[in-house]
Amino acid sequence: MNQLAYLPFAVLFFFSTLARAMPRINPLRHLQRFFLQPRMRLAWGLTIGRSAW
């Protein structure tokens, strides 16, 4: 029963501190690095080609 009382505290405290500790990352910043790699472009093209076939 004590665990049920602890759960709201844990959710509010731990997740709020985790959200403050992690920097916000923009995933669009990594697209240039992704497309500069030939094998990644090939894998992406093959995947899109297979799904559109």
DSSP annotation string for the chain: -HHHHHHHHHHHHHHHHHHHHSPP--GGGGHHHHHTSHHHHHHHHHHHHHHH-
> pTM higher than 0.85, yes or no?
no
How many beta carbons lie within 10 A of that of residue 27, not counting itself?
A: 7
pLDDT tens per residue, range 5-53: 777 777 777 766 666 666 777 888 888 888 899 999 999 999 999 998 7
pLDDT of residue 41: 92
- Per-domain residue ranges of the chain: 29-53
Report the C-alpha gap between 18 and 35 in whole angstroms: 31
